[in-house]
Structure 1
Amino acid sequence: MPITMPGKEEEKKEKKENKGKEEKEKEKEEEEEEKKENKEKEEKEKKKENKKNEEKNENKGNEDEKEEKEEKEGNKGKEEEKKEEEKKEEEKEEKKENKGKEEKEKEKEEEKKENKGKEEKEKKKENKKNEEKNENKG
């Protein structure tokens, strides 16, 4: 029968207990981290859901407004309504055209800048050639 020292046994027991405590602590931390992550996920989902609901409500509000407007305009008469819609469409088209014109103008300006840059490069090249010719003559 091996002779064991009482201090050694206690030390082993203590180490084992400490190891167990550390593992439990680690598990606890992992669980808390997981809870935290789940909570964050839930909050994200809630925000997403709230946003969705807000959009639905907004769309519903727009629909209600539209219906109300249609009722009022129905009293005016269909001809007037048609004219207003046409006018709105024309304005939209005009805006589109103006936007297109502005974009074309911008493109032209860019082209001018590019061409100017190219011309300057060409002039510099030409000047350099002439300088070299003059040097060779002299």
Structure 2
Amino acid sequence: MQVLARYIDSTSRSSEIRQTDERTDGRTDRRTDRQTDRQTDRQTDRQTDRHTDRQTDRQTDRQTDRQTDRQTDRQTDRQTDRQTDRQTDRQTDRQRDRQTDRQTDRLFIPDLYTLYIV
């Protein structure tokens, strides 16, 4: 009888140990799953953040480039307009001066003829 009692007692202890191991394994599995989930979430968050940062950087770069291009275009246009205006003004002034000179020459030339003829 004692042998049977010892056998039952050892079997019962083995069963308890097995159940304890299974519970411990289950807790360990759940803990590992939570750690893996947190790690995966952090990696996903970092990847998403980097992707968002790159998109934002590209958008900002394109916007800055467009603004710079527009500013440069306006500045170039203003410079070109001023140069063209100055050139046109100089040409107009020269033409006016030549026209005035020709008119003045016409006015005085007959008087010169008259002086020489006399």
- What TM-score bracket applies, with the shorter chain setting the length? 0.5 to 0.7
> 2 CA distance for matches of 1:32 and 1:55?
34
Give the share of equivalent positions with the same residue, in percent: 0
- 1:21 corresponds in structure 2 to 39
Per the TM alignment, residue 79 of structure 1 is displaced from its structure 2 partner at its CA by: 9.2
What is the CA-CA distance between 1:23 and the residue it aligns to?
Answer: 1.1
Q: TM-score, normalised by structure 2?
A: 0.58
Rg larger in structure = 2
- Matched position secondary structure for 1:5: helix
The one of 50, 56, 62 aligned to 2:74: 56
Q: For structure 1, which segment, 15-24 or 5-14, has the greater mean C-alpha deviation from structure 2 after superposition?
A: 5-14
Alpha-carbon distance in 2 for matches of 1:54, 1:78: 35
The equivalent of 1:35 in structure 2 is 53
d(CA) in 1 for partners of 2:96 and 2:71?
35
* Residue-by-residue CA offset, 1:20-47 (whole Å, 9 max, x unaligned): 1101111111111011000000111111
The whole-number CA distance in structure 2 between the counterparts of 1:12 and 1:75 is 93
Task: Give the TM-score of the pair, scaled to structure 1.
Answer: 0.50
Select the residue among 65, 68, 71 that pairs with 2:86.
Answer: 68
**Whole-Å separation in 1 of the counterparts to 2:96 and 2:55:** 58
Task: Summarize deviations over 1:67-111 as a string: whole Å, max 9, x none.
Answer: 21133123213497xxxxxxxxxxxxxxxxxxxxxxxxxxxxxxx
Structure 2 residue runs without a partner (length 5+):
1-18, 99-118
Partners of 1:7 and 1:46 lie apart in 2 by 57
Q: CA RMSD in A?
A: 2.5
Runs of 4 or more consecutive aligned structure 1 residues displaced over 4 Å after TM superposition: none
The residue correspondences of 1:85-104 to structure 2 (distance < 5 A) are none
Matched residue of 1:77: which SS? helix
Q: CA deviation at 1:9?
A: 0.9
